[in-house]
Structure 1
């Protein structure tokens, strides 16, 4: 996917991220990603001999991420679709949300890509807040959006997910696809099982999320697969002030126990 331009209007060539490495022009033809090579065991058996060395690369990604984000202030991780277009109301909502979070002193953390992620980064950056993007190596998506102030690129999804969770006091999910669903349910599972300190998960956009919320309530909870306390982890809203208020209240409660 071609990056059409930056804030200063200068054109940028098509590129792909491979962890901290940027690939452009002739290097774009590399056919696989690092995650794919790690998880796909088909083919010659030489992968058996290289996997132990991959541990060093994985370790280096954790070290780089921890080092880059260690002094980040209180933050909110916002998930959302890379396919949201700049003229869509969901993009405008993302800009407004990013700005509102910045105004209460929260950094925003996104996946650093286009669409809803770019909108949130843009809103936070324009409002003078800290705008963070955690990118991932993908075969079809460009690098970090131009509104990211602090960016880290990862090869491995599981390392990146750790960073999304470790440095946030709340999650907000804008409308999104499979990636957003993956991140949403991983966050819910970690909060439910007390692997992370309990904090809110906000579903922003009632018309988009209502069907999923109803299914969780009427199928999961009704059949005893989750309990009332689990359902209460989710907050469904259309209002920016409401979403930010939930984040603020949770932070005050969290701060009182630390």
Structure 2
């Protein structure tokens, strides 16, 4: 069965059940492009064609029919991590582009951390600051991996393919829950040889969601790591200062203990602080360039 009707405002909606599996596919054509919605019909009754006149937002939806689908996707995340190796996970905005100072700082940080820790750099394989960290690690000649999602804030992805990463280093996830499992497992440390970290760059609602989920797992000792995992909050240009003030207020109200949050992460105002912290955490030597930058910054702070 299949039919099409011309909707209002010059848009087309095609409805079909050509696969004979009670799944209806709607394709919506407009000046934005082609979009698809899939949903499953009950097995009783017949579907009769009728004109559809409606405005659709640009999106694609596929029904989750079983928890097994989520489980299989989580397993695929674990398989990718096993193949590429655990390392540093970067959380950050998908909206901040190459023209922004935070982008250039994130790119440099991704390069320096990859060189220092000599590990895989993991991101959500999206645009913005995730892209900056990925490119930084690639410039350092180190491996990268990612857990891509079909939609990033601020844009609709028209393809499951990354613009420059090879297919074997990232996984396109249908489910946010599976993606989060992957981002958490990528930083687990079960050996002293594992050099991992969580690096939270400036971001919006999605970034905050990931930050506090991982922070809660560390707080409750439910992250699944035998050894501690360093967590760095990059407070570029005091971006997170209001958030830190709120957490201080939480201590006043008694919703968190004094010093509890501060013990879970390291707040860094710049890349030099982040690199120095990781070098100390893993007992590694900083490059001459980074060490010189730290010395200059310390001297400037002493004069001030």
TM-score range, shorter chain: 0.7 to 0.9
Indicate the residue corresponding to 2:203 in structure 1. 176
- Displacement of 1:235: 1.7
**If you compute each CA radius of gyration, which structure gives the higher value, 1 or 2?**
2
Bigger shift: residues 232-241 or 107-116: 232-241
CA distance in 2, matches of 1:252, 1:211: 32
Call closer, same or farther: CA 1:248–1:144 in 2, change over 3 Å. Answer: farther
Q: Structure 2: which 5+ runs fail to align?
A: 1-28, 38-58, 188-195, 285-304
The aligned residue for residue 21 of structure 1 is none
Distance in 1 between residues matched to 2:111 and 2:204, nearest whole Å: 23
Confirm whether residue 64 of structure 1 aligns to residue 76 of structure 2. Answer: yes
Which one of 211, 217, 231 corresponds to residue 190 of structure 1? 217
- List alignment gaps of at least 5 residues for structure 1: 1-24, 39-50, 254-258
**171 and 118 in structure 1: CA distance in 2 versus 1, 3 angstrom threshold:** same
Would you say 1:33 and 2:61 are equivalent positions?
A: yes
**Structure 2 length as normaliser, TM-score?**
0.64
Q: Residue in 1 aligned with 2:144?
A: 131
- Of stretches 233-242 and 183-192 in structure 1, the one that deviates more from structure 2 is 233-242
- Residues 50-98 of structure 1 deviation map (CA, whole Å, 9 limit, x = unaligned): x4xx222112212211111113334111111110011110110111011
Q: After the TM superposition, which of the residue ranges 199-208 and 107-116 deviates more from structure 2?
A: 199-208
Q: Secondary structure at the match of 2:222?
A: coil
* Equivalence for 2:93: 81
**Is the helix fraction higher in 1 or 2?**
1
**Which 10-residue stretch deviates more, 182-191 or 128-137?**
128-137
Asked if the contact 1:99/1:126 (under 8 Å) is kept, the reply is yes
Considering Cα pairs closer than 8 Å and 6+ residues apart, tell me whether 1 or 2 has the greater RCO: 1
Q: Equivalent residue of 1:71, what SS?
A: helix
- Compute the displacement of 1:146 (Å): 3.6
Matches within 5 A, 1:88-237: 88-104=100-116, 105-138=118-151, 140-142=155-157, 143=160, 145-148=162-165, 150-168=169-187, 169-196=196-223, 197=225, 198-204=228-234, 205-217=236-248, 219-227=249-257, 228-237=259-268
Give the superposition deviation at 1:103.
Answer: 0.4
Measure, in 1, the Cα distance between the counterparts of 2:172 and 2:200. Answer: 21
Q: Partner of 1:244 in structure 2?
A: 275
Q: What's the offset of the Cα at 1:185?
A: 0.4
